[in-house]
Amino acid sequence: MARFALKVEYHGAPFAGWQRQRDQPSVQGAIEAALARLEPGAHTIAAAGRTDAGVHGLAQVAHCDLEKDWTPFRLMEALNYHLKPDPVAIVDCAAVDRDWHARFSAVERRYMFRLLMRRAPATHDAGLVWQVPHLLDHEAMQAGAVHLLGRHDFTTFRSSICQAASPVKTMDAIRIERLDAPGGPEVRFFLRARSFLHNQVRSIVGTLERVGRGAWAPDDVRRVLEACDRATCGPVCPPQGLYLAGVGYPEDPFGED
């Protein structure tokens, strides 16, 4: 039995999320079905994080166990062949030790959120961004985000169905950039932490959007954080702008810098 790490890219629109569903399509289910084409039988893969319906993956990481001693390149090619036509791709593959785990060995997760600022409906970026019809002050949003850095009780930004044992998390970085993209001006949010609560990123972005359009002052972010009350949070923004952008490990299994 050999274990392989998989770096996975996917468009989240057709799926009910990462996690396998009995009667709905999922990214996990698509990959496990492809694995069954290579080695007949039931397969269960584990991932660094479970993304919700509509959320995309740029560099999700999962692992699988196989009887055959595949070379990573051949396994990647074979999986990509059997994943067609689903919008899922294995972009890298590596052999790892049997005790390596995509979720439990991870030391950080990185998310990106894309927010398009234009009145005309998105065409090429439809389903890939959250769109608002007004310009946002990204510097004001960055000032508000400062209050979220470090170790805090993030109850305000936690879904009511979150299954995490504790609302206390450490936010290592939040970077907000404005980008003059061909499809229109964007604000991109980059967040990094060891782990996140359910809907935490989307709740943070929805709150910071209020700051960006001038409805809230940057210091209001500190106020709602300290309230530890879900009712004080800004709106949870839609999932299509959210991307799992990367997962960090003590040693990169894919050998990248």
Distance CA 103, CA 222 (A): 31
AA letter at 109: R
Q: Is 211 exposed, middle or buried (0-12, 13-18, 19+ CB in 10 A)?
A: buried
C-alpha distances (whole Å) from 198 to each of 108, 148, 188, 222 are 16, 16, 20, 20
Q: Is 104 exposed, middle or buried (0-12, 13-18, 19+ CB in 10 A)?
A: exposed
- Catalytic positions, written as ranges: 52
Distance CA 143, CA 211 (A): 9
